[in-house]
Amino acid sequence: MGRQLQGSERRPVAGARAVGPADPTELIEITVRVRGARAVDLVTHRTFGRPMTHDEIEEHFGASAEDLAKVEEFAHARGFGIATSSAAERRVVVSGPAGALAEAFGIKLERFRGPRGDYRGRTGAVQIPEELEGVVTGVFGFDDRPQASPHLRRVKTLTPRTVGRLSPVEVARLYHFPDVDAHGQTIALIELGGGYRSNDIAGYFRRLGVRPPKIVTVSVDGGKNHPSSPNSADAEVALDIEVAGAAAPGAKIVVYFAPNTDRGFLDALTTAIHDRTHKPSVVSISWGSPECRWTQQAMDAFDEACQTAALLGVTVCAAAGDAGSADMQSTDPDFDDRAHVDFPASSPHVLACGGTRLDATDGSIKAESVWNDGPDSATGGGVSDVFPLPLWQADAKVPCSANPDRRVGRGVPDVAGNADPESGYEVRVDGVDTSIGGTSAVAPLWAGFIALVNQKLGRPIGFVNPLLYKLKSGFRDVSTGDNGHYSACHGWDPCTGLGSPDLGLAGLLIGALTVAQAA
pLDDT tens-digit series, residues 66-114: 999 999 999 999 999 999 999 999 999 999 999 999 999 999 999 999 9
| 8 Å CB contact between 187 and 444 | yes
For residue 161, pLDDT beyond 60: no
* Listed residue (311, 231, 318) closest to 268, CA to CA: 318
pLDDT for 2 equals: 75
Q: Give the whole-angstrom CA distance, residue 360 versus residue 155.
A: 17
Average pLDDT, the chain: 94
CATH topology of domain 161-518: Rossmann fold (3.40.50)
What pTM was estimated for this model as a whole? 0.96
Indicate which residues carry an active-site annotation: 236, 240, 440
pLDDT for 160 equals: 41
**Domain locations along the chain:** 17-140, 161-518
| 8 Å CB contact between 103 and 4 | no
| Mean local confidence (pLDDT), 27-50 | 78
Q: Give the whole-angstrom CA distance, residue 90 versus residue 102.
A: 21
pLDDT for 514 equals: 85
Residue 205: burial class (beta carbons within 10 Å; 0-12, 13-18, 19+): buried
Consecutive H or E run containing 361: strand 351-361
Beta strands 342-343 and 287-290, pairing class:
antiparallel
If you compute the radius of gyration of the chain from its CA atoms, what whole number of angstroms results?
22
pLDDT, one tens digit per residue, over 332-390 is: 999 998 999 999 999 999 999 999 999 998 899 999 999 999 889 999 999 999 999 99
pLDDT, one tens digit per residue, over 281-322 is: 999 999 999 999 999 999 999 999 999 999 999 999 999 999
